[in-house]
Amino acid sequence: MAEQTRIAIVDDEQDMRQSISQWLALSGFATETYGSAEEALKKVTPDFPGVVISDIRMPGMDGMTFLKRLMSADSSLPVIMITGHGDVPMAVEAMQLGAYDFMEKPFNPDRLTDLARRAAQARKLTLDNRALRRELSDGTVLMRKLIGTSPAMERLREDILDLGQADTHVLIDGETGTGKTLVAHALHAVGPRAGKTFALTSCAALGEEELGAKLFGPVTEGGLPLVEEARGGTLVLEDIESLPLSLQARLTTFINEQGTPAETRIVAIHNGSDPERSLEDALRPDLFYRLAAMKLVLPPLRSRGEDVLTLFTHFAEAFGEEYGATPPQLSAQEAAQLLQAPWPGNVRQLINLAERAVLQQRRGTGSISSLLMSDTQEQGETVQVTTEGKPLKEYVEAFERMLIDNTMRRHRGSIAGVMEELSLPRRTLNEKMAKYGLSRSNYL
C-alpha cells in the first residue's frame, strides 16, 4: 500500500489485541491498540482515516455503548465487532445499529484481513467523497484551481467573485475543455448560496422525455425532480443549446414563477465550439435574455500566453506524483511548441498531454513534440501553431520564467541551489525574479 490504512483495535485483553495487531500489521495495515473504549474515544474522532475493530464484552464502557458513541459521531465509520459464541444475537443488534460486520471467536485471521481490507476501501471512498464535497463548497479552494496569471484569467476570477455575489442567473460560454463546469461550481461556492443544493445535469445526455422527467418531475421513489431539489440553491444546465423547445417553455415558466430575486439560481453552460450555431439561435428569445443577463466567457487556452507552461508544469508534477515518476523538464523548443499550439481541446487537452508526457518519461521514450503532432493528426488539424504571431522575446521570457519557477520548486527556495544550477549571479537572479513576479517565500 502506498499509504497504510489505520486500524484501531479495542479490547481489554492484551494478548488478543496484540495478536490482532501483529497479524494486521503483517498484512500492511498501520495498527493502534487501546485497552478500553474510553481510551479509544480520545483518538478515534470523526473523519478517522481507517477502521475500528472492537470487542463487545469489555469492563467499563462495553462494545455496544462504544459503537453507539462512534455512530453518533460518524455514522459512516466502519466498525467490526468481535463476539464470543454466546454474543451472536448481540452482534446482530450491533449490525442494526450500524456496525460494518462482526466476527465470532475463534476467528480465521485471513477472513479478518479480508474484512478489514474491504472496510478500509469503503472508508477511503467515504472520506474521498467528503473531501470532494468540501472542496466543491469551498470557494477559496475552487478559485485556486483556476490557475493562471494571464490578464484573461485575472479578469475571470474577478468576474466570478462579482457575479457570485450578484446572485442572478448566469450564462457561461466558452469552447470545450475551458473549465466551464468548474467555474459553475466556483460561482455557487463564492456566493450566498454556498452550502445549499448544487444540482447539475446535461441537456444533451438524455432524450426529451427522460430530460423532462429529470428536470420537472413527477416526484418518484428515486427522489425529487431537479427543479425541486435545487430550490434555494443552484441549478446548472450544461449544453443548454441542446434543451428541446418544449422544455425551454417549461424552464421559462419556472423562471417567471420564481419572481425577483430568484429562489433558485440558474447557471446555463453553452458549449461554444460550433461557430455556425449561436446560442441566441438555439433558444427562445425570452429564455435567452433571462439566462444571458449576466454572462461569463471563458478564454481559450491559446489566448492565455504563458499560462500554458504554468498549467503544463502543474499537471505534470501532479501526474508525476500519482505515477511515481519524474515529471519531464521542458526544453526551450518544447516550451515554444506548447506556446504556439492551437489547443482545440483547451485545458482538458493539456491535462491529457501532461499525463501522457509523464508516462512517456517513465518509459524513457517519446517527446512532447510527438505528442502534440499526434493530437493534431487525431483532430484533423492542419494548423500546428496559433495564427496569432508573437515576438520571439515573449517566448524567451515565458520559458525563462518557467525555468526559474521550476528550479526554485526543486530547490525549495534555495537561492544558492538555483544560482548554481542555472549559472546565474545573485543580482541577475534577483532581477529576473522581480521581473517575473516570483518570490522566494512561495517556495519555502
Spatial contact of 368 and 328, defined as CB atoms under 8 Å apart: yes
Q: Mention every residue, 6+ apart, whose C-beta is less than 8 A from residue 159.
A: 296
Tell which phi-psi region holds residue 323, choosing left (phi > 0), alpha (psi between -120 and 50) or beta. Answer: alpha
User: 194 falls in which pLDDT band (50, 70, 90)?
Assistant: confident
Rounded Cα gap, residues 154 and 149, in angstroms: 6
User: Residue 286: its pLDDT value, please?
Assistant: 93
Among the ranges given (84-88, 168-172, 233-237, 267-271), the one the predictor scored with the smallest mean pLDDT: 84-88
Task: Quickly tell me which residue has 457570485 as its cell.
Answer: 164
Spatial contact of 123 and 88, defined as CB atoms under 8 Å apart: no
Q: Reduced to 3 states, what is the DSSP secondary structure of residue 9?
A: strand
Each residue of 216-250: pLDDT tens digit? 988 776 678 999 999 999 999 999 999 999 999 99
Each residue of 326-366: pLDDT tens digit? 888 888 888 888 888 889 999 999 999 999 999 998 888 77
In this structure, the chain runs to a length of: 444
Spatial contact of 251 and 284, defined as CB atoms under 8 Å apart: no
pTM exceeding 0.85: no
User: Residue 386: its pLDDT value, please?
Assistant: 44
CA atoms within 13 A on the CB side of 362: 15
Under CATH, what is the fold of the domain 6-131?
Rossmann fold (3.40.50)
Each residue of 359-389: pLDDT tens digit? 998 888 778 888 887 776 565 544 344 445 5
Rounded Cα gap, residues 355 and 323, in angstroms: 9
C-alpha closest to that of 240 among 193, 190, 276, 290: 290
**Angle between helix 346-363 and helix 307-323 axes, rounded to 10 deg:** 50
Residue 405 has pLDDT above 70, yes or no: yes
User: Residue 385: its pLDDT value, please?
Assistant: 42
Rounded Cα gap, residues 66 and 61, in angstroms: 6
**Angle between helix 368-378 and helix 332-340 axes, rounded to 10 deg:** 20
Residue 285 has pLDDT above 90, yes or no: yes
Rounded Cα gap, residues 154 and 164, in angstroms: 15
Q: Mention every residue, 6+ apart, whose C-beta is less than 8 A from residue 7.
A: 21, 24, 29, 30, 31, 32, 50, 51, 52, 53, 116, 120
Task: Quickly tell me which residue has 470557494 as its cell.
Answer: 139
- The CATH H-level (homologous superfamily) assignment of domain 137-299 is P-loop containing nucleotide triphosphate hydrolases (3.40.50.300)
Task: Please return the burial class of 80, using the count of CB atoms within 10 Å of its CB with bins 0-12, 13-18 and 19+.
Answer: buried
User: 3 falls in which pLDDT band (50, 70, 90)?
Assistant: low
Q: Which residues pair with 35 in a beta bridge?
A: none
Could you tell me the residue ranges of all domains in the chain? Answer: 6-131, 137-299, 302-366, 392-442
Provide the grid cell at 246.
418544449
Q: Mention every residue, 6+ apart, whose C-beta is less than 8 A from residue 22.
A: none
Q: Which residues pair with 198 in a beta bridge?
A: 234
Q: Mention every residue, 6+ apart, whose C-beta is less than 8 A from residue 116.
A: 5, 7, 24, 27, 29, 51, 53, 80
Under CATH, what is the fold of the domain 302-366?
Helicase, Ruva Protein; domain 3 (1.10.8)
User: Residue 91: its pLDDT value, please?
Assistant: 77
User: 441 falls in which pLDDT band (50, 70, 90)?
Assistant: confident
Provide the grid cell at 216.
420537472
Q: Which residues pair with 270 in a beta bridge?
A: 173
In this predicted model, which residue has the larger pLDDT, 376 or 144?
Answer: 144
Q: Which amino acid is at 331?
A: S
Spatial contact of 98 and 74, defined as CB atoms under 8 Å apart: no
User: Residue 379: its pLDDT value, please?
Assistant: 55
- Residues 332, 337, 341: CA angle, nearest 5 degrees: 155
CA atoms within 13 A on the CB side of 182: 18
Q: Reduced to 3 states, what is the DSSP secondary structure of residue 422?
A: helix
User: 144 falls in which pLDDT band (50, 70, 90)?
Assistant: confident
Task: Please return the burial class of 439, using the count of CB atoms within 10 Å of its CB with bins 0-12, 13-18 and 19+.
Answer: exposed
Fold identical between 137-299 and 302-366?
no
